[in-house]
């Protein structure tokens, strides 16, 4: 087993748990008999987190030639821990009795979600430049700027429209990155 494989096992496990948590939450919402108040920003940001997890895992290959150290391992571990925390925040409480109000749930977590995802984007932005010599302001690197701006929205605005637009912007950017970088791979 190479050091790259050893390092990415831990990252992959965390990302797999995130994916499982997201799917468990979505399947719970799909099958529950409880009255559910749906909310577009919650759903859109959940899609963003799902896409971030998938893109994060696939982008790990960019680091296959890194000369790994314990410090670089800790750095690369920070982003999956942050997205895992965001995943946990997005999941509604399943053991609580009564209706599920995703609008109220999102209102409770939106500021912390915003802060965590901003940190996540910053860690993801600079992992390639710090560890693999990539250009932080190349095409993919520069796309982190509008994502950071979009992730600021939940932290500063409770407006449904602003949050829906911001999440849609991030979805579009992530789709563009995935298509541009990985469709030929």
Residue pair 83/53 in contact (Cβ under 8 Å)? The answer is yes
Render each residue's pLDDT in the chain as its tens digit; 185 residues.
Answer: 899 999 999 999 999 999 999 999 999 999 998 999 999 999 999 999 999 999 999 989 889 999 999 999 999 999 999 999 999 999 888 777 889 999 999 999 999 999 999 999 999 999 989 998 888 998 778 889 999 999 999 999 999 999 999 999 999 999 988 888 777 65
Number of structural domains (the chain) is 1
| Spatial separation of the C-alpha atoms in residues 102 and 68, rounded to whole Å | 42
pLDDT at residue 185, rounded to an integer: 53
What letters, b where the CB count within 10 A reaches 16 and e where it falls short, cover 140-172?
beebbeebeebbebbeeeeeeeebbebbbbbbe
Calpha distance 15→183 (Å, rounded)? 21
Neighbouring C-beta atoms of residue 180, cutoff 10 Å = 12
Number of neighbouring beta carbons within 10 Å of residue 115: 16
Phi, psi of 90 (to 5 degrees): -70, -25
- Phi, psi at residue 100, to the nearest 5°? -105, 115
3-class DSSP state for residue 143?
coil
Q: What's the confidence (pLDDT) of residue 178?
A: 86
The range of the structural domain enclosing residue 101 comes to: 3-182
């Amino acid at each position: 087993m190479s050091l790259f494989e050893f390092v990415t096992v831990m990252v992959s496990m965390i990302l797999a748990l995130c994916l499982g948590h997201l799917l468990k939450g979505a399947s719970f919402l799909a099958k529950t008999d409880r009255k559910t108040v749906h909310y577009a920003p919650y759903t859109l940001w959940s899609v963003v987190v799902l896409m971030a997890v998938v893109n994060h895992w696939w982008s790990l290959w960019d680091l296959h030639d890194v000369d790994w150290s314990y410090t670089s391992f800790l750095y690369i571990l920070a982003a999956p821990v942050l997205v895992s925390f965001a995943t946990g925040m997005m999941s509604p409480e399943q053991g609580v009795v009564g209706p599920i109000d995703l609008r109220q749930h999102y209102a409770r977590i939106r500021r912390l979600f915003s802060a965590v995802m901003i940190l996540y984007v910053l860690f993801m932005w600079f992992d390639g430049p710090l560890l693999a010599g990539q250009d932080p302001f190349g095409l993919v690197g520069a796309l982190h700027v509008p994502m950071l701006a979009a992730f600021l929205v939940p932290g500063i605005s409770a407006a449904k429209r602003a949050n829906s637009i911001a999440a849609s912007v991030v979805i579009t950017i992530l789709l563009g990155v995935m298509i541009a970088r990985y469709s030929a791979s």
